[in-house]
Structure 1
């Protein structure tokens, strides 16, 4: 497994990471046994990066990861998002990034994961009511205390990244990046490269649109995608047409659409680490296969023609969530 560096540190992780959210939340029914098997297979294939959040499944995801890792915790780089609030019925209640809330959240995370420290700790969103300098300062104190190794950010814009990095080195920014979501290329990605910050790319299959397996028949599936403009009505029709354009290129290369989409993100630079939201071992296989795929300049140009920047119809989140994202 190729390794990629985290920020300015000497720490490295596998070239792809396993995003564990879907094993507990948001994408419909889950299968505990298969989720654990997927984590075990990831470990066997030398994937070391595991991405979770204390609010995924209201703590379920951290407990699941603890069970699956077992005695192999030392083989895992655990990245944890925090700060989003949930009610007992699973609904969303906003965010809390007060200093005492951050410390409280980490205390519960350490207990659920049964670890002495987390490798990377990151606010899930930027709270407009609390200066990012204050949030980063609290995590820096937790680093000094030995409870955290690295600081990350999620869905922050370029200005916020600069302000945060001035307080304490930021190891990575986690933000959506895919053939269907390229807004970071204008300002955010150049800023990360200027500052030496790694990009942790999530949503690389655009929540399943780029899996090559989504169809019009699945419109209205009872999960979080029901509220996504990209999965609604005529938007979905137009976006699936883009997928079919990619399928032609993939077939010529004897790969599938998902492998093409993952390999494309991998090709964008060694400072980018794609997160694979694999809930099943079969999904993990596509990601592992993508590590072996390279593109010629002609193939990359054909992909660009098939899906030009901005071609996707509909925002990547529902309208009420867009104001707190780092980029459209």
Structure 2
């Protein structure tokens, strides 16, 4: 038996996206569910637990389909953008992704935590309740092997001989000159200046979650960002600064990152950057001549009473001289304060 929604690819191998209304995915610690809903009411539902996946397909009646359409037309949802969804520094992990189709395009909203959903629960709950109850609707059930597709619109894969192009492929797209606007001559961008150092830290102290990052480029330009959130509060305080180190400061920094106490630390497969129960974790990336040194340092390194995944590759104390230098020469001076709205997680400087 072939699941109904898996036959939606057209003869040309293209997907009829205009046939779809909604894709919804919801993950908590206990469960994972996703659904793909077509405009005619037919649905493909997958529910996971730790052991197996159940796959259902059925069809909504006109009344129930109308309720879903009404929920999707909620003004709060239709005007909400991804940039408006704020994630906390100390998240309660709960993933929710809503993909809404207007027949030509998909519009996606993604929530990575329960807290980021809270301001919009009035609009989200009708969809979540519908998803949780959907398995109660009349349906056919399929095996995991034959039916599971992660609730994605199907694509038909066309086989062709080596070197043969399909009707939808070409080595070069040549638009109609009458329909195009002449473009400006392209400007060759200079090669990107390599990074020298990138530091990211995450920690909890006195019921305050603090997240910071530093980026230093080889030519001396730097960027620093700091975010703080009190436990129980949704407000996040953000501070950003940028500038350029003097040659003397670059020399001092190179001496600090050359310290054998840091240089000898190697990454262990079991270490990863997570929000600690207490203390601080630090991701240190140093671009050395021998390659990238990418390690995680922790204030709970080698503590037997702390779970292993909080231990990191080394003790954060080894980086204290480096962190002190960055704090004194960046935050203390704070001569290049930037708009908090320009946060880029220290991906570029300044």
- With normalisation by structure 2, the TM-score equals 0.27
Greater Rg over alpha carbons, structure: 2
- With normalisation by structure 1, the TM-score equals 0.29
Q: Which has the higher contact order (CA 8 A, sep 6+)?
A: 1
Which one has the bigger helix percentage? 1
